[in-house]
Structure 1
Amino acid sequence: MNFLIYFTNDIIWGPWLLIIIAGVGIIATVASKGFQFRYLGYILKNTFGKLVRGSRKTNEEQDNSAGQLSPFQAISMAIGGAVGTGNIGGVATAIAVGGPGAIVWMFIASLLGMITKMMEVTLAVHYRKKNINGDFYGGPTYYMQEGLGKEKHFKLWFIPALVFGLGLLITVFLTMTTYNVADAMYSTTQFGSLVSWGWFYSISTFIVIIFGIKGVARVAEKCVPFMCLFYVISGIIVILLNLSSLPSAIALIFKSAFNPTAAVGGFSGATVALCLNTGFKRALYSNEAGWGTSPMIHASAKVDHPIKQGMWGAFEVFVDTCIVCTITGLVIVITGVWDCGLAGASLTLLAFESGIGSFGRWIIAISVFLFAFSTTGGWWVYNEILLKHLLGERVKLINFFLWILKIVYPFAGIVVCYMVVANPSLASGDIWVIADIGSGLPTWMNLICLVFLVPKFIQLLNDYKAKYMGIGKVDPNFRIFYNKDDAPVLKNTEFKKAE
């Protein structure tokens, strides 16, 4: 385990990865002239605002757009894949290891991550392909092949694509999701056993993913909004009940970001470097900006311009980290339990219980189940898309492996569950070492690729701004979709200016 910790923290997640995560965000921010800051209101208006208004115009746009999922289904699946146990256990682990100041670095990472996620989603839609059934698929492996391989003439594009896929497989099959759910439900209900809850969760997952991407989408669009609202409102209630402690909690968070305070109890001590490192890692594991995962879902959305779906990617990071993770962090710090020596979901559970009594345990148990359930469904979609890209048009072979995965994937966590029962130390923060390997490898590959594709993103952004925001001139020869046959058929050429 010591070698894994060294390999993860000093090599995969060493200073260079933090530099490239921040660097890509900064490069995209400068190149886009701070789009995620200057036009944050515009982004929210054209994402969350459309959901609230439910405008007929949005429906008309979807009817004229290519894809198999509505933008809301795509964002529900993407948020479902990102908002998971990382928002409950990951944030708590970041605070336990790096101190309260890790929250600040998570927030900063998310602000840069908004433009990074917007860029990777935009590119995923731009380079997506249509299969023989007329369904659209895309993601990092697609823009590695088309953007790096064909446009940039990089013949070895398949190497980063393979490493990217390998990293996702590590995360899928060596995950603590099933155990976290089983532990939360069993400790709260005291009914059944740890293993029986694990089987219940796995069977529930199997029932959902057996219907494929569209089945996961139907569940996600109904489950995810309720899930996020339920958790956020519960967290706000805890904060309001401890409102007198809020100023001191915020002061501690910002002070600890630049001058980490070694706490009593089981706290391991912190430095600024450790605080920053932990904050960035947990932010990535939570909002997945730069990881390259959720763009694989967004690429299937019905949309007539890649930037439109890209803004949903920025909104996804905003919801995941700026709202959900911040709520978790504030609850842990404001209740004063952050230095008790616990980590992961156990620390968050204690914080909610301290804030609103035993009912807090039920909030976390239900949230862990829903968050993990949505994450598992989202990650199934990632694997399905990677498999279809790898095997191309071999339909029979794809269907064969899909059925194998549909049986193996939901039940892989049961093995980990039994392993943790036999060796409880796996449930500690050590498991995040494995998670960091699975997130670090694909992130390296994806971010390096994104550096070379920033100019393409800026071209697409400038085209959108000219057509829909009245900023700049429209280039009639610019292709917003890389594959000409995949472009949507529009009823007219009129573009809506900024309101």
Structure 2
Amino acid sequence: MQQITKLIQSIDSFLWGPPLLILLVGTGIYLTLKLKAIQIFKLPMALKNVFSKDSSDLKADGDVSSFAALCTALSATIGTGNIVGVATALRLGGPGALFWMWVAAFFGMATKYSEGLLAVKYRVTDENGEMSGGPMYYIERGLNNKFLAKMFAIFGIGVAFLGIGTLTQVNAISSTVNISFGVPVQITVAIITVLVTLVTLRGIKSISKVAEKLVPFMATLYVLGALTIIITNIDKLPQAVSLIIKSAFTPTAAGGGFLGATVMLAIKTGVSRGVFSNESGLGSAPIAAAAAKTKSCVRQGLICMTGTFFDTILICTLTGIVLVITGTWNAKGLEGAAVTNTAFQTGLPFPNQIGSFIITLGLILFAFTTILGWNYYGERCTEYLFGVKGIKPYKIIFILIIAAGAIPSLKLELIWLIADIVNGLMAIPNLIAIIGLSGVIVNETRKYFKNINKDNDLDKKEEKITA
């Protein structure tokens, strides 16, 4: 078993090495240039679209509102990565890793915009009357390449089944509940299995309703907790920001339990954890975007773009700053969730239990919504490969894998490695499609904003005539 694990570790290290990270960030840079920095100049419009409704969308094709589609996508991205992933990134790459997470997220916003646009443009209606879309459809219908489309769908089901969508999240919830409240793992897993079954068997509308409620609630609670720590330690903020920026370009000195990090390690860790957190370029979020009730692929692309902003620019940033301000990022003897847990316990001006409660509740709800999001992604990939007849067997297998989280002998390290590999493999056909269809993305964007400018000019003329 050790030899198999070492072999899979080698494959994982190779796949998530510089070539794929350069391809992911490079695609974002390319799209940023082609779209004239849309993530800067159109971000206010994108944020406005998230919290407002377009009356024309009420009669548009789709299964859920644009906001619900965004929450479904965020349910899969805002998760343990925001709590555990950031802590791990700073432990390995030093505070400078957070800066490189920002860089990956900034360019990733252009990629996420493009994914959302293509998802709506090339989506179809399945035999059940539900919307199906995502990389498999824009690869087939846009690039005319069925082989790459099928490969993406296979890898998508693999990620849903083999870790990120199931066992790792179940383990995160059950172990957290066991440590915090002493509830046996088997009982927690049984409850999770029942809840997942009740929600997912009813489809995207049920999943999106749960996501619409849990994601904003948990994100708000977490953000308020982090902001409270920052505000009460505001005198330390300039020094923390200075350390983050300085560490991004100079080696970090060792301190506490930290061994020190090179600039290259900070870049690699920050970029990889940033991509893992917001999933820009991996091709998962556009599957949810395709279900949105909208007549405009560009408008949905803008809404998708905010997902990366909320996930990394906002939540990961707050986590990272809290870890640096409280000094727990390099505290001796702490790993993973314990790092962030300690930061909230010591940083909040309340009893330790409150900080611990926020992190515990965050891990539970974030992990649960990640299960729901990835259940839907895997379902759409299954429908693409096997038609609607494959959906029910897929859901049964998914639920059985959730239930298997109660088996103590499962090697979660191996499952994480396999999930990492299949996740990385998802990105390759998706990025090929985005680059290949960049002309379509630019043309659709240009047409949309040209029409908006025309409408604005007409409104101004009517105002002058009225006056």
TM-score by length of 1: 0.85
Residues 1:32 and 2:35 aligned together: yes
On the 8 A contact 1:21/1:447 being kept in 2, the answer is yes
Residues 1:71 and 2:66 aligned together: yes
On the 8 A contact 1:99/1:275 being kept in 2, the answer is yes
Q: How does 1:92-131 map to 2 (within 5 A)?
A: 92-131=87-126
Deviation for aligned residue 1:296: 0.4
- Which amino acid counterpart does residue 440 of structure 1 have in structure 2? G
With over 3 angstroms needed to count, the CA separation of the structure-2 counterparts of 1:400 and 1:379, relative to structure 1, is closer
Deviation for aligned residue 1:376: 0.8
On the 8 A contact 2:156/2:377 being kept in 1, the answer is no
Cα distance in structure 2, aligned partners of 1:259 and 1:233: 32
Secondary structure of 1:186's aligned partner: helix
Counterpart selection for 2:442 from 458, 470, 473: 458
Residues 1:444 and 2:434 aligned together: no
Deviation for aligned residue 1:4: 3.0
Counterpart selection for 2:397 from 405, 410, 422: 405
Unaligned runs of 5+ in 2: 462-467
Q: Which structure's residues are more often helix, by fraction? A: 2
Secondary structure of 2:137's aligned partner: helix
Counterpart selection for 1:419 from 406, 409, 412: 409
Unaligned runs of 5+ in 1: 474-493
2:246 maps to what in 1?
Answer: 255
Secondary structure of 1:22's aligned partner: helix
Cα distance in structure 2, aligned partners of 1:326 and 1:237: 14
Deviation for aligned residue 1:172: 4.2
With over 3 angstroms needed to count, the CA separation of the structure-2 counterparts of 1:440 and 1:161, relative to structure 1, is closer
On the 8 A contact 1:76/1:224 being kept in 2, the answer is yes
Q: 1:26-83: CA deviations, max 9, x gaps?
A: 11111111111122222222223x2xxxx5xx2x222221111111111111111111
Q: 1:282-311: CA deviations, max 9, x gaps?
A: 111111110100110110110011011101
2:311 maps to what in 1?
Answer: 320
Alpha-carbon RMSD:
2.5
Deviation for aligned residue 1:165: 2.9
TM-score by length of 2: 0.90
Q: 1:253-280: CA deviations, max 9, x gaps?
A: 1111111314334434322222111111
- Count of aligned positions: 452
2:365 maps to what in 1?
Answer: 370
2:12 maps to what in 1?
Answer: 8
1:479 maps to what in 2?
Answer: none
- Which amino acid counterpart does residue 314 of structure 2 have in structure 1? I
User: Which deviates more, 205-214 or 299-308?
Assistant: 205-214
Secondary structure of 2:437's aligned partner: helix
Q: 1:90-129: CA deviations, max 9, x gaps?
A: 1111111111111111111111111100101110111101
Counterpart selection for 2:195 from 170, 182, 204: 204
- Which amino acid counterpart does residue 41 of structure 1 have in structure 2? P
Deviation for aligned residue 1:198: 3.2
Q: 1:185-237: CA deviations, max 9, x gaps?
A: 22222x32244333333332222212221111111111111111011001111
With over 3 angstroms needed to count, the CA separation of the structure-2 counterparts of 1:432 and 1:251, relative to structure 1, is farther
With over 3 angstroms needed to count, the CA separation of the structure-2 counterparts of 1:343 and 1:129, relative to structure 1, is same
Q: How does 1:285-304 map to 2 (within 5 A)?
A: 285-304=276-295
On the 8 A contact 2:164/2:419 being kept in 1, the answer is no
Secondary structure of 1:46's aligned partner: helix
Q: How does 1:87-486 map to 2 (within 5 A)?
A: 87-149=82-144, 154=145, 156-158=147-149, 160-162=151-153, 164-165=155-156, 167-168=158-159, 169-172=161-164, 175-189=167-181, 191-341=182-332, 342-356=334-348, 357-392=352-387, 395=388, 397-415=389-407, 418-419=408-409, 433-470=417-454
On the 8 A contact 2:253/2:260 being kept in 1, the answer is yes
Cα distance in structure 1, aligned partners of 2:415 and 2:156: 20
